[in-house]
Structure 1
Amino acid sequence: MAEVLYDSPYEVHDPRFAKLINPGAKLERLATGFRWAEGPAYFPAQRRLIWSDIPNNRMMSWNEVDGSVAEFRNPSDNCNGHTIDRQGRLVSCSHLRRAVIRTEHDGSTTVIADSYQGGRLNSPNDVVEHSDGSIWFTDPSYGIDTDYEGARSDREQNGCHVYRVDAATGEVSRVADDFERPNGLAFSIDEKKLYIADSGRTHGEDLPHHIRVFDVVEGKTLKGGEVFAVCEPGFFDGFRLDEQGNIWTSAGDGVQCFAPDGTLIGKIKLPEGCANVCFGMLRNDRLFMTATTSVYAIYLLVRGHRTF
């Protein structure tokens, strides 16, 4: 059963945030005992939340119906971020396989991308789908830097970049090449913009810890890339948008919420640093948060933006 932690985990920085939160909702811990919980994704048809426990090389599952927690996949090839595509299939970023992989409805897996211009990818981290079916993903080097989250290996790419996989041809193209460690990413509601986190601070205090925003050109390329928001404390990792276009993002002190104009409007304080979030449940109004050793959840007064 879920463990109720405390009644009011909120910090309201702007009146707009007060309209998004439910003072009567409790912060709950659904599961604990993980090394690095990451990449939550909610399956509406299965009424199930899945997430990665990367160093333990497994994926976990929480059953909405009875609250039970079980292993979903073991070994998981050190999977990190996930998304559910518009056909209800799980798309995953595997550190160990250095690939983006799709789980088909029959349980088989398909490699979407594992190389670019003849060289293996570093270790895909997070992934989203565009409405045209193309897959966009970030490729930092966390899974090959050490053996903790994958397997220590040499880079075969000239840096840490962002890629797009064409739905019709499977062609992999590089869409951004000026990041230290590209991480979480999400499209705006109208898909005219793509937000991408740079978590470079993990490799130095003077390196980026912000989200950048790009213009999406004809659904295929990016331009711009100005800084949208800077993280304090820590660094941004994964994030999602709600139906109003607000960004709910992981941070060192929990979850931070930014309005579409880049204003920090509020926070959900957690007992440990957060890695990623997603929305789920019947009305898509519950925020699930993977935060280091545990998974937390809270009901909001705003629904998450559905992409399928």
Structure 2
Amino acid sequence: MDGFELTQPRFKEYVLPNAPLEKLAEGFGWAEGPVFFGDRNELLFSDLPNNRVMRWTDAGGLSVYRASSDFENGHARDRQGRLLSCSHRGRRIHRTELDGSITSLVERYQGRRLNSPNDIVCKSDGTIWFSDPPYGIQTDYEGGKQESELPAALYRFDPRDGSLRVVADDFQGPNGLCFSPDERKLYVVETGLQFATDPLQNIRVFDVAEDGRLSGGNVFCTIAPGNADGIRCDEQGNLWSSAGDGVHCIDPAGELVGKILVPSPVANLAFGGRNNSRLFLCASHALYAIYTNVRGARLL
């Protein structure tokens, strides 16, 4: 099958040979943080080094959603349909209200500034989970050099009472994250120290208790070539991960099922489109999409 690599025969059930990879747009500094708005039939994603958020639709193509975005990276949508964003330069999580105004949600933990929130997901109970590595404040390319005040960590924020707590802090560089379809597991990407010769890089999996506490945290799998960054689950519980050669599909046991091959390294991805079965790929300087025969997991 051209454009695919089958590790297990059942990968044929997940992909469509007559639906090839499409390049939708290009010319970005580094594309990241895709999120699909089904009610508006549009994809938003970050052009991180160029400090802007882009919009793409089938009908209108590419446009700028927000210029001077405070170097936003990861995005998600909350239970009320509002955009949640990770700001590198602002070192915060903020929310775009339905009227377009912006509300800062989280900037500090125990009085100290966050590093540079990277990726974000909203659980069905309304809690907001995000990773906070120092990547965005270590270079001028993705936000601007600043001093780190906190160790890298994974956080859970509850907008109902304003509580913020560290749910895991044994990371060198926590990055992409997503819940399993039943939200009983949380997958978190470890991308390690940014300038290390041999950084620690893998995907870990945690068990999620009803009160939001995590346990476990064992290595789920390791992505090669390249490394994992953004991740998403489908309805069947398979994990789809960015990689140096495209997108890898990993089953719930941590075994590679197959690959979608992409000309450039993929940084992040999101399901969307008709029936939530179109996979949008932020691949270096370009945006791609491909129709699959699986549907992305929806929140409960």
- Residues 163-208 of structure 1: CA distance to partner in whole angstroms, max 9, x if unpaired? 0001321111000001011000001111111100001164324322
C-alpha distance in 2 between matches for 1:283 and 1:233:
31
Identify the match of residue 171 of structure 1 among 163, 166, 171: 163
Tell me the distance in 2 between the aligned counterparts of 1:89 and 1:8.
39
Measured in 2, the distance between the counterparts of 1:63 and 1:234 equals: 29
Please show how residues 136-155 of structure 1 align to structure 2 within 5 Å. 136-155=129-148
Aligned match of 1:214: 206
Kept in 1: contact 2:175–2:230 (CA 8 A): yes
Cα distance, 1:33 vs structure 2: 0.2
Cα displacement (A) at 1:282: 2.4
Letter in 2 for 1:111: S
Asked if the contact 2:249/2:259 (under 8 Å) is kept, the reply is: yes
Aligned mate of 1:43, from 37, 40, 55: 37
The CA deviation string for residues 55-110 of structure 1, in whole angstroms up to 9 with x for no partner, is 000011111224x2111100111000101122111101000110111111000111
Output aligned runs, 1:249-260, within 5 Å: 249-260=241-252
Equivalent in the alignment of 2:89: 96
Q: Equivalent residue for 1:184?
A: 176
Which amino acid is 2:149 matched to? E
CA distance in 2, matches of 1:128, 1:92: 10
Matched, 1:56 2:50: yes
Counterpart of 1:218 in 2: which secondary structure?
coil
Residue 285 of structure 1 aligns with which residue? 277
Unmatched segments (≥5 aa) in structure 2: none
Q: Deviations over 1:228-281 (max 9, x none)?
A: 010111111011111101111111111111001100111111111110000011
Counterpart for residue 275 of structure 1: 267
Residue pairs, 1:60-99, within 5 angstroms: 60-66=54-60, 68-99=61-92
Contact 2:127 2:158 in 1 (8 A): yes
Q: 2:115 corresponds to which letter in structure 1?
A: N
The alignment-based identity, stated in percent, is 52
1:10-30 alpha-carbon deviations (Å, 9 max, x no partner): 101011211100111011000
Contact 2:116 2:133 in 1 (8 A): yes
C-alpha contact (below 8 Å) 1:201/1:209 kept by paired residues: no
Please say if 1:33 is aligned against 2:27: yes
Match of 1:199 in 2: 191
Return 176-185 or 81-90, whichever deviates more.
81-90
Structure 1 alignment gaps of length 5 or more: 1-6
- Per the normalisation by structure 2, the TM-score is 0.97
Give the one of 108, 117, 123 matched to 2:116: 123
Measured in 2, the distance between the counterparts of 1:136 and 1:273 equals 26
Higher mean C-alpha displacement, 87-96 vs 194-203: 194-203
AA matched with 1:69? L
Pair 1:162 & 2:154 matched: yes
Structure 2 residue matching 1:60: 3-state secondary structure = strand
RMSD: 1.2
One-letter amino acid matched to 1:302: V
Amino acid at match of 1:231: I
Which letter does structure 1 place at the counterpart of 2:103? T
Is the 2:135–2:194 Cα contact (8 Å) retained in structure 1?
Answer: no
Q: Which residue of 1 aligns with 2:225?
A: 233
Q: CA deviation at 1:130?
A: 1.0
What is the aligned residue count? Answer: 300
Instruction: Give distance in 2, aligned partners of 1:144 and 1:127.
Output: 18
What amino acid is the match of 1:196?
Answer: V
Task: Report the counterpart of residue 299 of structure 1 in structure 2.
Answer: 291
